[in-house]
Amino acid sequence: MGWHSNKEFFVSWEELHRATKELARRQLPAEQYQGVIAVSRGGLVPAAIIARELNLRTVDCVSVSSYDHNEQRDDLNLLKDVTATEDGEGFLVVDDLVDTGNTLKFLRQRLPKAKFITVYAKPAGMELVDDYVADLEQDTWIHFPWDMHLHYVEPLAGQES
């Protein structure tokens, strides 16, 4: 868990789909875009949904690796670059969330003309993103559906002490 906080926010597949479709709706009209760039890996599922809703068939991805320095991920480098565009003009860059903003700060240098959108945003990174659907407090850890598994929970009556 490392730098995880006490508060947790669990996102189901259905809720992620709903929120990402809402994000797509806000990007209309679709004709202003040439394609979508997913920020791998968290942005892959949201980017697929955005591309489907906006009928964009050019989908590229970018992969960023980070190193932990005193719990701050401040040293980023490109593991996989974008080939679909030089500067991001006419492209939507999609990620699952912006937290500290380090990932998007780095990608804005690479793709200065792109529009950056995320499904969720925390306060520290909000100004790095052009649009998002829901904001959460900085000390809330978001759990995405691909990181989870359904499991049994005891009934309330069985939890009485």
- Per-residue string for binding with ligand PRP, 1-40, x by CB under 6 A? --------------------------------------x-
Q: Which is nearer to ligand HPA, 33 or 132 (CB)?
A: 132
Residue ranges in contact with Mg ion by CB under 5 A: 42
Ligand-binding annotation for 141, yes or no, is yes
Active site residue 130: no
The item of Mg ion, ligand HPA, ligand PRP, none sharing an interface with residue 16, based on CB under 5 to 8 Å by kind, is: none
Q: Give the shortest CB-141-to-ligand HPA separation in angstroms.
A: 5
Cα(54)–Cα(35) distance, rounded to whole angstroms? 9
Q: Which is nearer to ligand HPA, 3 or 18 (CB)?
A: 3
Site residues (CB under 6 A) for ligand HPA, limited to 129-148: 141-142
42 or 88, CB closer to ligand PRP? 42
- 96 annotated ligand binder: yes
Residue 102 marked ligand-binding: yes
Cα→Cα distances 128→11, 106, 124, Å: 23, 10, 9
74 is catalytic: no
Query: Both tokens of residue 135?
Result: 């904001």
- Going from the C-alpha of 73 to that of each of 47, 67, 68, 76, the distances in angstroms are 23, 6, 5, 7
Strands, E assignment, the chain: 7-10, 35-40, 59-69, 72-80, 91-98, 115-121, 131-135, 140-143
Minimum distance, C-beta of residue 99 to ligand HPA, in the bound complex (Å): 4
CB-based burial of residue 62 (10 Å sphere; 0-12 exposed, 13-18 middle, 19+ buried)? buried
